[in-house]
Amino acid sequence: MSWKRSQELLQSLFRRILPPRGFSLTKIGKVFFCFLVIIIVIAMLTDNNLLFLVLSVMLAFMIVSGIESERNIRYLEMDRLLPLEIFARSPVQICYAVRNTRGSSSRLVISETCPDGQIGFLKASYLPEDISEVFHKSVSFKRRGKVRLEHIKISTTYPYGLFEKSITFEVAADVIVFPKPLPCFDLLGSGDSEDGHGTDKTLDTISHTRTYIPGDSLSSIAWKKQHIGLTTRVMEGGSGRSGIVVVLPGHDIEAKLGKATSIILEFFNKGFEFGLAINEYFSGFDLSRSHKIEILSKLACVENISEPKWRTFDAGASIIYI
């Protein structure tokens, strides 16, 4: 038998012998258990029938508590509802839909952990029978990239608070956390139109500066910044309704990705076609939400930035270098 096969058999056996529920004593439960042990010892030493009667009542109390707590969580169903767009260091609402198919439940606590730490816990005081209740939790992910959410735990101290019993739901999900948008400039300058209303929807502003590239116009050089090396002012002009964000290598990768995210979101909100060129990747032009999510997902998973492969684009597209 191979080593891998042996591991699989051992893991399967381990899962089978594990208790079906998590179990731990509460503070009240520890005190109750200490009294129970003391009464057992005294009853055995003194042979007092009254103490044996008290002992039987306490044991029955524990058994009833165990049965009721099991009924409280045994038939629960759980589902996690995630938002379509999650940005790093920005609060989002994660929803948990819980339903008890056979009876009602009381005093439930919903908790979940992730690589960034514990997402938090929610308290549900009462859950009606066969009705799906949705609970909301505000969560902020610290880092961009792919985050693996694995299991959700529901625990209860119902009915007497002697011990905490829990059930775990394996509802794994891979979440893409987009870079936090960092505002860098107003992509579309606003102003009064001829009739005194509306917005000037032309790209006619200095967006930013970048490292000088041989062939750049001398009139675009920012001479006042010679102390940091030659830099070029990137001018975005014209009335084109499409733009491409080109991410260049640099030291502050997170800032570059945050600015690129901000520009992509602004293009999408204005209804312009947009695209992204970074490393070997070029997204093409589109204005749909799926296109936006594809681009943001790409930015979220970038580990390093090299010289972009794509440098030539449609003549009508506004090129924004980051």
Confidence of residue 171 (pLDDT cuts 50, 70, 90): confident
Give the percent of the chain with pLDDT over 70.
Answer: 74
Q: What is the pLDDT of residue 167?
A: 92
pLDDT at 191 over 60: no
For residues 298 and 283, the answer to whether their CB atoms sit within 8 Å is: yes
Q: Give the model's pLDDT for residue 116.
A: 67
What is the secondary structure of 7-49 as a DSSP string? HHHHHHHHHHHS-SSEEEE-HHHHHHHHHHHHHHHHHHHH--H
Q: Please check whether residue 204 is in contact with residue 237, taking contact to mean a CB–CB distance below 8 angstroms.
A: yes
Strands 242-246, 273-278: parallel, antiparallel or unpaired by DSSP? parallel
Query: When comparing pLDDT for 184 and 185, which is higher?
Result: 184
pLDDT tier at 96, thresholds 50, 70, 90: very high
Mean of per-residue pLDDT scores for the chain? 80
pLDDT in the model for residue 281:
92
Q: Can you give the pLDDT at residue 198? A: 38
- Determine the average pLDDT of the residues in 82-95: 91
Mean pLDDT of the region 177-184: 90
| Domain range list for the chain | 7-178, 205-321
> Tell me: the pLDDT tens digits for 217-242?
444 555 454 444 545 545 444 444 67
pLDDT of residue 21: 76
pLDDT of residue 1: 53
- The helix-helix angle for 289-300 and 253-270 (nearest 10°) equals 180
For the stretch 60-82, pLDDT in tens is 999 999 899 989 998 999 999 99
Q: 314 pLDDT band (50/70/90 cuts)?
A: low
Q: What is the pLDDT of residues 254-296, one digit of tens each?
A: 999 999 999 999 889 888 889 999 999 999 889 899 999 999 9
Give me the pLDDT at residue 192, please. Answer: 39
Choices 1.10.3720.10, 2.170.270.10, 2.60.40.10, 3.40.50.720: CATH for 7-178: 2.60.40.10
CA-nearest of 275, 220, 221, 222 to 247 is 275
User: Can you list the pairs that 108-112 forms with residues at least 24 positions away whose Cβ atoms lie under 8 Å?
Assistant: 108/72, 108/73, 108/76, 108/154, 108/155, 108/156, 109/154, 109/155, 109/156, 110/78, 110/135, 110/152, 110/153, 110/154, 111/152, 111/153, 111/154, 111/155, 112/80, 112/149, 112/151, 112/152, 112/153
Checking if the pLDDT of 249 tops 70, the result is: yes
Predicted local distance difference test score (pLDDT) of residue 313: 67
Distance, in Å, from the CA atom of 17 to the CA atom of 14, rounded to the nearest integer, reads 5
Rounded to two decimals, the pTM is 0.71
Tell me what pLDDT residue 319 has: 83
pLDDT of residue 297 exceeding 90, the answer is yes
